[in-house]
Amino acid sequence: MQEDIHATKLAILKATERLVAANGFEATSLRAITAAAKVNLAAVNYHFSTKDALILAMLNRRLRPVNEARLALLDQFEEEAGENPVTVEKILEALFRPVLDVVSGRAKGGRDFLRLLALALAEPGAYLKPLVEKEFSEKTRRFHHALRRTLPGLSEVEAHWRLHFAHGVFFHAVVHSAVLECTSKGRCRITSAETVLRRIVGFCAAGLRNPA
Amino acid sequence: MQEDIHATKLAILKATERLVAANGFEATSLRAITAAAKVNLAAVNYHFSTKDALILAMLNRRLRPVNEARLALLDQFEEEAGENPVTVEKILEALFRPVLDVVSGRAKGGRDFLRLLALALAEPGAYLKPLVEKEFSEKTRRFHHALRRTLPGLSEVEAHWRLHFAHGVFFHAVVHSAVLECTSKGRCRITSAETVLRRIVGFCAAGLRNPA
DNA sequence: GCTTGATTCAAACGAACGTTTGAATTAGCC
DNA sequence: GGCTAATTCAAACGTTCGTTTGAATCAAGC
C-alpha cells in the first residue's frame, strides 16, 4: 500500500521530516518543505489537505513500521521461549530495539524521529491522540499481556504503570541525551545503541521486577 | 529580587504561562499575551526584549524555586539521617516531590509547567542549554554525590545514567500521563500526588539499586 | 486522437506575526 | 514645580505564513 506511493508525496514526507527535525514544527514552512522537495507549493495541500495532516502523516510513516517490528520481535522471543514466559529483559528488548534501530539507523530522518514524537506529544490539544489510540493499541495489549505472564505478581494496573515507567526511561534517555551529556559534563554520552540498550534494560528490568 | 518585580512584567509572565500552556509556543502570539495581561503590545519587547527571552523567563520563574526546594529537601533529609547516608527513596523524594507540588499545586500555571519544559527541551536548537547549565548544575552535583554515598557500588558514570533514567520515569509519567490513561483505557490515572510518587519512587529505587 | 480525470504550476489572497518608532504619560528626585 | 528617566501607548512596518484559484500539463482508456 505504501509501495506505490506517489513520488511527490514521498518527496514531501522526506523533506518534511528533515526540515522539521532541524527547525521544529512551526518554524518549518510549507514553502521551505516544497522547495527542498522540489515540488510545487500547492502540492502539499493537494496531497495532504493541510499542514497538520502532513505532520501526522510524517510521524505515522515512521511509527507504524516501528510498532510492527516490536510485535514481530516479541513474536520471535515468545516462539524461542516455547512454553516458558519470555524474560523481562527480552520483553524490554522487543520494546526498545526497533526504536533504536530507527533512531541510530542510516536513514537521516529517523535520527530525530523520537524527538519529534516527543514534541508532538508534549504539544497541547492532544491532536496525536487518535494516532496513539490506533497505532499503539495492539502493541500495548500484547506487551502488557506478556509482562503479566512473566511477572504474575503484578496487578493489571500495576503492569500498566510500570510499562509506562519503562517507556519513560527509554524515551527520556534517548530524546534528552543531550541533557545528560550536559549535566554530566560530557562524561555520559550514547556511544552505541547496544550499550545504551543494555543500561536501559538493566534499570527497567529491576524496576519492573520490584516486588514492593 | 523577585518581590519588587514590576506589575506589568509579572502580568505578562502569568498570561504567557497560561496561554502557552493552552496553545503552545508558536501558537501563542504576543498580541494574545498582551491582551490577556491587559498591557500594551510593545511592553513585551520593552521588558523582555524578545519573545524568545520571554519564554525563557517564564520557564525560569518556575524552574528556579523548584530546584531550590529540591536542594532544601535534600538538606533536610541529610540532616535527619545524621551520619548515615540518605536512603535511595528519600533521595528520589527530594528530587520529585517539589516538582509534584508545583504541578499539582493551586497555581493554575504550574499545572503545565513540566509539559512546557518538555516541549522546550524537545525543541531543536538547544536554546534551553544555557538555562539547564545554570539552573541544574548544583542540583545535579548534590544529588549525584548523595546517590553515590548511598550506593557506593555505582561508578560515577553509572550514577549519572541512572539518575537520568529516574528523571525519565518521573518526567514521562507526569507529562505524558494522558498517554497512559489512553492506552490503559482509563484504568490508570493520576489520582493524587502521593500515590503516583510512591509508584515512581518504588520503580526508580529498584532500578537505582540494581547491582548488575 | 479525443476525452476524462489526476496532477502540477504560477500567482495571488487575506491574515497574522514580531518588532520598531516616536510621542505621550507617569513616577521619582532636587 | 520643573527636570529626568522610566514606562506606556497607538500606529505602523515589513515579512511571512497557509491556503486557494484557475489555467496548464500529463496519463491513460477506448
Residue A93 Ramachandran class (φ > 0 left, ψ -120 to 50 alpha, else beta): alpha
Shared-domain flag, residues A45 and A68: no
CATH number of the structural domain spanning residue B28: 1.10.10.60
Decide if B95 contacts B116 (C-beta within 8 A).
no
Nearest CA-CA distance, residue A24 and chain B, Å? 6
Q: How far is CA B210 from CA A137, B102, B153, in A?
A: 31, 30, 10
Nearest to A180 among B123, B164, B172 (CB): B164
Shared-domain flag, residues A113 and A178: yes
Shared-domain flag, residues A31 and A129: no
Residue A169 in any domain: the answer is yes
Residue A88 in any domain: the answer is yes
Nearest CA-CA distance, residue B1 and chain A, Å? 27
Count how many residues are written for chain A.
212
Tell which A residues from 26 to 85 touch B, by Cβ distance under 8 Å: 26-27
Shared-domain flag, residues A67 and A41: no
Shared-domain flag, residues B33 and B122: no
* Residue A161 to residue B137, Cβ atoms within 8 A: no
pLDDT at A208 > cutoff 60: yes
Q: What is the DSSP code string of A168-209?
A: HHHHHHHHTHHHHHHHTTTS-----HHHHHHHHHHHHHHHHH
What's the number of domains chain B is made of? 2
Shared-domain flag, residues A67 and A121: yes
C1’ C8 / CA A21, Å: 27
Shared-domain flag, residues A39 and A95: no
Whole-prediction pTM: 0.92
What is the pLDDT, as a whole number, of residue A4? 52
* Cβ contacts of A136 on chain B, cutoff 8 Å: 183
Residue B54 in any domain: the answer is no
Residue B198 in any domain: the answer is yes
Q: Where are the alpha helices (DSSP H) in chain B?
A: 7-23, 30-37, 42-48, 51-81, 88-103, 113-122, 129-150, 156-175, 177-183, 193-209
Shared-domain flag, residues B38 and B75: no
Q: Which three cell numbers stand for residue B125?
A: 536548537
What is the pLDDT, as a whole number, of residue B1? 33
Shared-domain flag, residues A91 and A154: yes
CA distance B94 to B144: 13
Decide if A19 contacts A32 (C-beta within 8 A).
yes
Using a 10 angstrom Cβ sphere, with 0-12 exposed, 13-18 middle and 19 or more buried, the burial of residue B85 is middle
Shared-domain flag, residues B39 and B94: no
Residue A57 in any domain: the answer is no
- Mean pLDDT over A105-116 rounds to 80
Contacts of B40 by beta carbon, 8 Å cutoff, 6+ apart: B34
Closest CA to B209 of B155, B157, B151, B166: B151
- Mean pLDDT over A183-209 rounds to 95
* Cβ contacts of A157 on chain B, cutoff 8 Å: 184, 187-188
Please state whether strand D lies within 7 Å of residue B11 at its CB atom. Answer: no
Bases along strand D below 7 A from a protein CB: 7-12, 16-22
Residue A140 in any domain: the answer is yes
In which residue ranges of chain B is pLDDT below 50? 1-3
Nearest to B203 among A133, A165, A171 (CB): A165
Shared-domain flag, residues A89 and A141: yes
Bases along strand C below 7 A from a protein CB: 7-12, 16-22
Q: Any CB–CB contact under 8 A between A87 and chain B?
A: no
Please state whether strand D lies within 7 Å of residue A209 at its CB atom. Answer: no
Nearest to B126 among A178, A203, A210 (CB): A178
Q: Any CB–CB contact under 8 A between A153 and chain B?
A: no
Shared-domain flag, residues A88 and A192: yes
Q: Which three cell numbers stand for residue B192?
A: 493524587
- Residue A31 belongs to what domain range? 1-49
What are the pLDDT digits (tens) for A26-75? Answer: 889 999 999 999 999 999 999 999 999 999 999 999 999 999 999 999 99
CATH number of the structural domain spanning residue B153: 1.10.357.10
Residue A204 in any domain: the answer is yes
Residue A39 in any domain: the answer is yes
Pseudo-torsion of CA B75, B78, B83, B89, nearest 10°?
-160
Nearest to A206 among B21, B123, B207 (CB): B207
Nearest CA-CA distance, residue A33 and chain B, Å? 17
What are the pLDDT digits (tens) for B29-80? Answer: 999 999 999 999 999 999 999 999 999 999 999 999 999 999 999 999 999 9
What is the pLDDT, as a whole number, of residue A44? 96
CA distance B65 to B76: 16
Nearest CA-CA distance, residue A4 and chain B, Å? 32
